[in-house]
Amino acid sequence: MGKASRTSIGFIDWPELDQNLWRSATTKGDFLSPDGRAARWVPETKLQVGKGYGKWVFFLTSIVALPSENRISPFDRVTKDRLRAYVDLLTKQGLASQTIASRLTDLCEALRIMCLSCDLTMIKHLISVLNKRAKPSRNKAARIKHPLEIWAAALKAMDDAETSDELTPLHRSCAYRDALALGILALRPIRLKNLAQLTLSEHLTHDGSRWQCSFSGWETKDKKPLHFALPTDIEFVTRFERYLTVHRPVLLRDLHNTSQSRPVSQLTGPLWISIRRSRMSRQSLYWNTCRISERLFNVRLNPHLMRDCAASAMSSDAPEYILAAARILGHSTLTTTIEHYEQSSMLAAGAHLNDFIGQLQAENNSVDNKEDLFDLPFEQPFEENEEELE
């Protein structure tokens, strides 16, 4: 496989003027000078916008606008023709329409913080046009699953992992860990960043009756503290504490503690352990969640989609609590919850379809000649959906 073509230029190779403007914009001031416009951005936002601006710098280099314009204000390098050519370049790179709109948003944000008096109307208009024309690259609604359906599949996957004769003990523990992570995301859909942060005796504590999870304001996206309890039903607690006492020590290669049955309330360190005996990265959690969900459901359920599933289930099963869904998901407004995550019509449609097929099956079982009623193999695909958890 050939080496991927370069599509971005790193910060160190930006024009010196751009580097200085970026540093000033992203640096906190001292007692005599104000903070830069992006001084309070979280590292992830700085990284995202910086990478996006690096793609613009690459484009300017490819059309030989740089380095001849190195000393010109970044905003003065922007023209309508160049924006049109930039969109064409991103399109030829195979980017989806929504992704192209995001790249333009990165450019707009970078210029906004670096060039304080620039008029960004033209770029914002282009972003608006792109967003209106954008078509989702994947049909999100078709991938929405009820959290309890996901949890039921995760339960079975954990049991299958422990009884598999094809896996080594270490890989059994890896499989168990991934299924548990999928299940926790279904029941408590926190952001991927916070999922990866989970640390025993810090974010996760046991109060004698249940597991409590807490994040301080500086650890959450909306800068507000987040606190919730993990499920208390026996199925969840048994599987969760089995991971802590059996599989996590295997991943840590700490079998001594397994045999001693150390109290779970005294455990410390990262919750999710990689095969290398260290804290799992966000990227690993992301891809492992996608991989196991594809195996279980034939569709990719990435960690962020779990939040859609949760909001959809809440608005479908208990619409009176949709305000609570906004807070659970860490949204500052209900509008965000409804616009981005509410897919309850898909869940409702699936439920009605299951009910309808169940009625057909009941009628089918009541007649002697079963093939006269219908001949579609409905039964098998829906057997697993009959299992509900309290």
Query: Are 43 and 187 in the same domain?
Result: no
Number of domains, the chain: 2
Q: What pLDDT score was predicted for residue 259?
A: 42
Cβ atoms 313, 341 nearer than 8 A: no
Looking at residue 5, its amino acid is S
Kindly report the CATH number assigned to the domain that includes residue 60.
1.10.150
Query: Are 242 and 300 in the same domain?
Result: yes
Residue 219 included in any domain: yes
Q: What pLDDT score was predicted for residue 168?
A: 94
Query: Are 20 and 162 in the same domain?
Result: no
Query: Are 284 and 153 in the same domain?
Result: yes
Residue 323 included in any domain: no
Residue 53 included in any domain: yes
Residue 46 included in any domain: yes
Query: Are 198 and 264 in the same domain?
Result: yes
Q: What pLDDT score was predicted for residue 373?
A: 27
Domain end point (choices 264, 286, 306): 306
Kindly report the CATH number assigned to the domain that includes residue 289.
1.10.443
Residue 157 included in any domain: yes
Domain end point (choices 115, 133, 151): 133
Give the dihedral sign, CA 256/259/265/271: positive
- How far apart (Å, rounded) are the C-alpha atoms in residues 194 and 189? 10
Domain end point (choices 261, 279, 306): 306
**Residues β-bridged to residue 200:** 204, 269
Q: Quickly list H helices, the chain.
A: 16-26, 43-62, 80-92, 97-114, 121-133, 140-143, 147-163, 169-187, 192-197, 234-242, 248-252, 255-260, 282-297, 303-317, 322-328, 334-341, 344-365, 379-382
- How far apart (Å, rounded) are the C-alpha atoms in residues 339 and 336? 5
3-state class of 380 per DSSP?
Answer: helix
Query: Are 146 and 106 in the same domain?
Result: no
- Digit-coded pLDDT (tens) for 217-259: 999 888 889 899 999 999 999 999 999 999 999 999 876 555 4
- How far apart (Å, rounded) are the C-alpha atoms in residues 300 and 269? 30
**Residues β-bridged to residue 345:** none
Tokens, residue 287? 């891809």
Residue 370 included in any domain: no
Query: Are 127 and 169 in the same domain?
Result: no
Domain that holds residue 147: 142-306
The series of mean pLDDT values per 10 residues for the chain, 390 residues long, is 75 97 93 87 89 97 95 96 95 88 95 94 91 67 87 96 94 96 94 96 95 93 88 95 95 67 87 96 95 94 88 65 58 57 50 44 45 28 26
Residue 368 included in any domain: no
- How far apart (Å, rounded) are the C-alpha atoms in residues 337 and 329? 8
Spell 46-74 as b/e; 16+ CB within 10 A means b. bebbbebbbbbbbbbeeeebbeeeeeebb
Query: Are 78 and 172 in the same domain?
Result: no
Query: Are 50 and 114 in the same domain?
Result: yes
Between strands 226-229 and 199-200, the pairing is unpaired
Q: What pLDDT score was predicted for residue 143?
A: 84
Residue 105 included in any domain: yes
Query: Are 185 and 300 in the same domain?
Result: yes
Query: Are 116 and 148 in the same domain?
Result: no
Query: Are 152 and 270 in the same domain?
Result: yes
Q: What pLDDT score was predicted for residue 370?
A: 34
**Alpha-carbon distance values, 24 to 21, 75, 152 (Å):** 5, 16, 51
